[in-house]
Amino acid sequence: MKLNLYEDNKIREEHVDIHYRQMRPLIRQVIDTVKSDRPVLRGRPADGEEDQRMKEYIRQFFRDLCFVYTVVSVAGAAVNLLAGSETSNTNVLVMFGVCAIATFVLSLHRLLTDFSPLAMILLQYAAACVLIGVLLLLVSTFGEPVSRQGWFEYYRSFTIPYVLLAGLYYARVFSETRRQDRLIHELQEQRSQIKL
């Protein structure tokens, strides 16, 4: 059996030449995947691609973190202004830590694609709550102790913005998915028209 994969930057078409006498099930699966309408090839990307993806992931994480922290701190400042109260430095740092945890947990949605969207959202919320619990334990150990009512208030003040910002985040993710799906369908239509 001989399998030749051709890829040339100058040629816009990619093709696969396959010569075989007897085919193993794994090879048949590769051929069926290549010939399918919506090919999905699993495997490890080249190191350059992986590095580029990681850099883009980190950039996107910090963009999202900056956006989330800005929205939460401006909203917190507005609430404090209306209520006539002030925020301590510890509270500002905890707010940043909570924003970082929530942004990190939401950015891991690609790892949970095997679950339904509702299960994925609930798992992420539970993970964020556990990590925030660890953060609050650290704060109460090294800083001011957190009362029982304080734990409740932290989780309540986390849940409301989390639900709103997670809704915005998932709306963006799902719109991007729909856009990519439309592009795939357009490419498939162009490919089928070229074959005719």
DSSP assignment of 98-131: HHHHHHHHHHGGGGGTTS-HHHHHHHHHHHHHHH
CA separation, residue 7 to residues 10, 32, 69, 186, 193 (Å): 9, 19, 44, 22, 22
Q: For residues 105 and 123, state if they share a domain.
A: yes
Query: Model confidence over 11-39: pLDDT tens digits?
Result: 555 555 555 555 566 666 666 666 666 65
Largest CA distance in the chain: 81
Identify the pLDDT of residue 108: 83
Q: Is pLDDT of 196 > 80?
A: no
Residues 90 and 162 in one domain: yes
Going by C-alpha positions, the residue among 35, 39, 146 that lies closest to residue 90 is 146
Q: Do 136 and 151 meet the contact criterion of CB atoms below 8 Å apart?
A: yes
Domain count, the chain: 2
Which among 108, 142, 146, 152 is positioned nearest to 128, based on CA atoms?
Answer: 108
Domain that holds residue 5: 1-39
User: What does the pLDDT average to over 176-188?
Assistant: 85
Residues 52 and 23 in one domain: no
User: Is residue 155 in some structural domain?
Assistant: yes
**Residue 122 domain-assigned (yes or no):** yes
Residues 169 and 136 placed together within one structural domain of the fold:
yes
Please indicate, yes or no, if residue 70 is contained in any of the structural domains.
yes
